[in-house]
Amino acid sequence: MEGPITNALTIDTEDWFQVFYGSGNITRADWPRLESRISAMVDRSLDLLAESGAKATFFVVGWIAERDPALVRRIAAQGHEIGSHSYWHTEVFRQAPGEFAEDVKRSKDSLEQAIGASVHGFRAPGYSIRREDEWALDVVLQAGHRYDSSLLHATVPVSEVRPGLVEVAPNALRAGGRNLPSNGGFFFRMMPYPLYRAYVGHLNRQGVPLVFYTHTWEIEVEYPRIPMPPVRRFVQYANLGAVAGKLRRLIADHRFAPIGTILEARGRAQPAS
């Protein structure tokens, strides 16, 4: 296991029919009638983590928590942190401030009712709090969250973006005038593992933690495929079968913990004022 840096391990917890690229064919109204695979996805994720004893932050869609609170309790019972991934899994920039505030509150309430404990972390679907949408951070704070993990950033991993709200920034690479997520997902699926390991080592040698993310539908891949245009289909489904094996190697090669655990340790390490 490399280096002294503890990296963050996170899993965005959403069902196969809730992905963005499927929204042209599947609407919210369709969700209740579709066969959910989220229980199998979560169980496969939990089993994979249990192999090594690794703990993660599961950012759970509130709609799932409201319909299946026992599933969320199952995650928490194994020592993993529960965070909010919004209620409707809709990008922030597609919502008015009031709509977003309602969504954030409903998700947090659903998750907290499920586990009987406070939920401190929030991650916007698709890292969709852009620089021009940072009003959303005020909403996240007002809802009672202590940290956000939505702002893609190439160099600053952890910072206080509002008094009382810490940003745990997902790692990004600057390309074409925008930050693109390099901390997991499609980037992780498509990059040969030795190169990805070298990338993480480079971050850690600079004192920067990896804020890794994957999805439940990238770990358990037996579910219906949604019709999509070829490019979107490639981005959505390419190389899914490699994720579980690569994730096992990543966990074995580097130190990982839930975001909340890392922030607690960081707070304890701060000098007294």
pLDDT at res. 160: 94
Q: Give the right CATH number for 2-269 from 3.40.50.150, 3.40.1410.10, 3.20.20.370, 3.40.50.2300.
A: 3.20.20.370
For 43-78, letters b (16+ CB in 10 Å) and e give bbbbebbeeeebbbbbbbbbbbbbebbebbebbbee
User: For residue range 125-153, what is the model confidence (pLDDT) as tens digits?
Assistant: 999 998 889 999 999 999 999 999 999 98
pLDDT of 272 over the 60 cut: no
User: For residue range 7-30, what is the model confidence (pLDDT) as tens digits?
Assistant: 999 999 999 999 999 988 999 999
For 156-170, letters b (16+ CB in 10 Å) and e give ebbeebeeebbbbbb
CA gap 273, 267 in Å, rounded: 12
User: For residue range 53-64, what is the model confidence (pLDDT) as tens digits?
Assistant: 999 999 999 999
Mean pLDDT of the chain: 94
% of the chain beyond a pLDDT of 70: 96
The residues, ordered by sequence, that sit 6+ positions from 266 with a Cβ below 8 Å of its Cβ are: 158
% of the chain beyond a pLDDT of 90: 88
Helix 97-115 crosses helix 135-142 at what angle (to 10 degrees)? 30
pTM (2 d.p.): 0.95
Q: Domain coordinates of the chain in residue numbers?
A: 2-269
Structure letter (DSSP) for residue 169:
P
Average pLDDT over residues 72-87: 98
